[in-house]
Amino acid sequence: MPATAAATAPARYDIDGFLKAIGDVPVTTDMQRVRIRSRDYFWYSPVLNKQLHGKSADVVATPRNEEDVIRVAAACAKLRIPLTERGGATGNYGQAVPLEGGVLLDLTNMTGIEWQRPGLVRCAPGLKMNDLDAVTRPNGFELRMHPSTKRMATIGGFVAGGSGGIGSINYGGLREPGNILAARIVTCEETPRVIELRTDAAQKINRAYGTTGIITALEMPLAPAWTWVDVIVAFDDFHEAVQAGLEVALADGIVKKLITPMIWPIPMHFNALKAHCPDGRHVIFAMIAEQSLESFKAVLGTRGTITFAQPHDDAPGKEPLYEYTWNHTTLQWLKQDRGITYLQCLFPHDRLLESVRQMTEMFPDEVLPHLEFIRFAGRLTCSALPIVRYTTEERLNEIIALHESHGVFIANPHVVTLEDGSRHKATGADQLGMKAEADPYGLLNPGKMRSYVPVKS
Amino acid sequence: MPATAAATAPARYDIDGFLKAIGDVPVTTDMQRVRIRSRDYFWYSPVLNKQLHGKSADVVATPRNEEDVIRVAAACAKLRIPLTERGGATGNYGQAVPLEGGVLLDLTNMTGIEWQRPGLVRCAPGLKMNDLDAVTRPNGFELRMHPSTKRMATIGGFVAGGSGGIGSINYGGLREPGNILAARIVTCEETPRVIELRTDAAQKINRAYGTTGIITALEMPLAPAWTWVDVIVAFDDFHEAVQAGLEVALADGIVKKLITPMIWPIPMHFNALKAHCPDGRHVIFAMIAEQSLESFKAVLGTRGTITFAQPHDDAPGKEPLYEYTWNHTTLQWLKQDRGITYLQCLFPHDRLLESVRQMTEMFPDEVLPHLEFIRFAGRLTCSALPIVRYTTEERLNEIIALHESHGVFIANPHVVTLEDGSRHKATGADQLGMKAEADPYGLLNPGKMRSYVPVKS
């Protein structure tokens, strides 16, 4: 019913013309469904929640393959209609929200695997990460890293969101050389081109929110699929938990995938795990390879009490511990109390414990740390997504400034542009150059890369 | 012919009584063969070569199993005969040389595998590391680390020698938690006991030269067996090679097992590889996982020229690149020129490049660096076994002192005692305590742990 859809859509874009141009590419024009699919998890941020309220695409296209993507891209370029990509839409920065309406390109039906080789896989962007692991695991491999949303999120969305997660304690983030081997993209031009970006060049689509090209294939390196054990350790003292976690993290002989120290009262909000999170005690949530469990306990020594140790299982209906870590911690708390939000910190590797202690003491009961041990540029350090008891936007910005003035870098999750959420408040020349090539009219996810000036109009 | 043997042996020990006591445990009493087997590769050191010249056991026992070991240990304890263990005897510190004669316990016939589990193996101490890998590789695993002597050395000798090697760039050395899971030992008492040492406790036999018990089984964690590629990269500038090597080493997304920058003229002595080691150029020898080869090249960028890239193969008759690294570098040079020796350095991780440059410039053409990137206590740094043009013992000690006064730790390879070759010039309480328990009479490899005073006489 394209006619009806066009009638309800805002007149600013030629949606009728678009629908005609793309032929049989599957679309949704039902505005209620379009509006629902135009959202991601930006509502973790009270700031973004206000700012992005009501933003919606005019139509959702759901390509079946690269040819469909090319048809959509060509039509958008010709008709100058914005095009915003989405995968699982589990991001938290509104990166999948079409700020200027237009076409929402839902890539979740592109789920094919091109090939697998030992330690490598090449696949379509819409494949869910859990489904990807299910296919590579029988060959002894799994993704090197995944977000806490692994069971809902797609590999393309993860790469376009650009971060790290469970596994980054071994491999660092997606930004480290070798963690994205290649990406194939489609440009948004009247005659779209298909470009293969390999190694360094593939970084041009990492954390670009789809602004620098539409990802149609990814070549990802894999890690050995160990038998993981989910472990909870309870401590009387938070800093003892951090110290013990650091020792395990630094022990290169202990195979692990996750080490997350969390301060009380965070675990109070973990309903399903109450039996394993004693009142008033700080915890470490960890994933340890079965082969290293005994050595893990040896490093803990007499510190802490293991309250939980179960084979890791993230099949449907199971509850993997990683869904209490990274930004899922925020979600677990939000289920009971909407009065909080969060930040994204990176602690300095060369005075890690001191810095963690300083920040913990600076905001008692206002900023509640849970730390993620990660490698960053080859050094072990901590990122953190602390729970923040939210009062005002002003106070939130003050907390950010206080972190930064004490050497803790903040990737602000309360902004929609790539630049404002980045380390250097700027987009690199590589990504800007790629943007000019792939998106001359500035149609790809407009509003997210604010420093880009379209090279054509 | 025990009678003959006893006749030719020095009268200081009751070798006849020993031979009677051990029943049918296989022995060698032929003094020519005993003398040959009483040597290791201490002759890399002109100092040790002088000091250890002519040292020999009186008899070699070659146990078939743990019961044989127990019989030998009991006999030695009863008759107060020294007992020195050996595996492949590829060590360089004289650790397998029986300073006070007596019994040489050759463990190379104890080669059984007790069991394999995913990422773990339990085996007898005399198994050669290459044979061990051959057995675990079909299951997707290999040893986490091995010395450059992997094709001759035994797993027991490696652990008793206590070091690291190829693979330590990922896992650190044997000293790191998790890198030795367990050891079973036999004590040297009239009624020997069999003791299982797990995790921390297993460190009591790490780098103890067999002084703290006779290892009869080892439980070792394994690494995923990647498809490795042997790579040589040639550089005009040594420090550019070190810088490039460091970047690869720090790139946690690039899977590697070895990165060895070597200064010219070291590669001049690599006869079989002359075609790949251009005149006057410094090199990196590396082992890179096939899945990471493209990313490795991307990190090199325009630096260096790849002159060699072949699938790694250390089967008999092949020439793996690792046999040009670590202390094999010394051997390659010694094949042509006996005028050199070597040192063992550990550079400070927090000013690595600066320190390497300083030491390189301090001894031009006298101390020639080849560096090994390793993890040490969770930090990336370099160890090194530089070639030293040898003049006098005095000058050698001066070079050592100059390194140490500039913050480069030296593990002196020109001494026979554990204490003198160690970081703190002392034996830890753990090892001393274990020694008292396992070797009350001070019979196990006497002369190597000089701070031990026998608790019984």
Q: Which residue of A has its CA nearest to B140?
A: A140
Q: Do A295 and B375 touch (CB under 8 A)?
A: no
Query: Distance (Å) from the C-alpha of residue A196 to the closest C-alpha of chain B?
Result: 14
Interface touch A178/B226, C-beta < 8 Å: no
Question: Do B176 and A253 count as a contact with CB atoms less than 8 A apart?
Answer: yes
Q: pLDDT 10s digit of each residue in chain A, 457 long?
A: 344 444 444 568 999 999 999 999 999 999 999 999 999 999 999 999 999 999 999 999 999 999 999 999 999 999 999 999 999 999 999 999 999 999 999 999 999 999 999 999 999 999 999 999 999 999 999 999 999 999 999 999 999 998 999 999 999 999 999 999 999 999 999 999 999 999 999 999 999 999 999 999 999 999 999 999 999 999 999 999 999 999 999 999 999 999 999 999 999 999 999 999 999 999 999 999 999 999 999 999 999 999 999 999 999 999 999 999 999 999 999 999 999 999 999 999 999 999 999 999 999 999 999 999 999 999 999 999 999 999 999 999 999 999 999 999 999 999 999 999 987 888 888 999 999 999 999 999 999 999 999 999 8
> Token digits for B403?
């390194």
Q: What is residue B181's three-state secondary structure? A: coil
Cβ-contact B245, B254 below 8 angstroms: no
Contact between chains at B119 and A172 (C-beta distance less than 8 A): no
Q: Do A250 and B377 touch (CB under 8 A)?
A: yes
Nearest-CA distance A149 → chain B (Å)? 22
| Distance in Å, alpha carbon of A264 to nearest chain B alpha carbon | 28
Partners of A350 on chain B (C-beta within 8 Å) are 350
Q: How far is CA A151 from CA A174, B55, B317, in A?
A: 19, 66, 49
User: Which residues of chain A make contact with B117, given a CB cutoff of 8 A?
Assistant: 291
Is B255's CB within 8 Å of A117's CB? no
Q: Would you say B260 and B171 are in contact if contact means Cβ atoms under 8 Å apart?
A: no
Residue B31, classified by CB atoms within 10 Å of its CB into exposed (0-12), middle (13-18) or buried (19+), is middle
Q: For residue A219, give the DSSP letter.
A: E
Task: Choose from B295, B351, B375, B376 for mutation: most chain A CBs within 10 A.
Answer: B295
Q: How far is A27 from chain B (nearest CA, A)?
A: 38
What is the DSSP-derived secondary structure letter of residue B208? S
Residues of B in contact with A375 (CB under 8 A): 252
A chain contacts of residue B350, beta-carbon cutoff 8 Å: 350
Whether residues A118 and B299 touch (CB distance < 8 A) is answered with: no
Cα A180 from Cα A200, distance rounded (Å): 9
User: Could you give phi then psi for residue A367, rounded to 5 degrees?
Assistant: -120, 115
Closest partner CB to B252 (pick from A224, A290, A378): A378
CB contact under 8 A, A199 and B226: no
Distance from A197 to chain B by nearest Cα, in Å?
A: 12
Question: Considering CB atoms only, which of B198, B221, B250 is closest to A377?
Answer: B250
- Which tokens sit at B453? 């005073």
- CA–CA gap between residue B170 and residue B162 (Å, rounded): 17
- pTM here is 0.95
Helix (H) or strand (E) holding B235: strand B228-235
| Chains A–B, number of C-beta pairs less than 8 Å apart | 125
From chain A, the residues in CB contact with B255 under 8 A are 119, 178, 221
Cα B318 from Cα A147, distance rounded (Å): 43
The two beta strands, A367-368 and A256-262, are: unpaired
> Angle of helix B238-250 relative to helix B352-362, nearest 10 degrees?
150
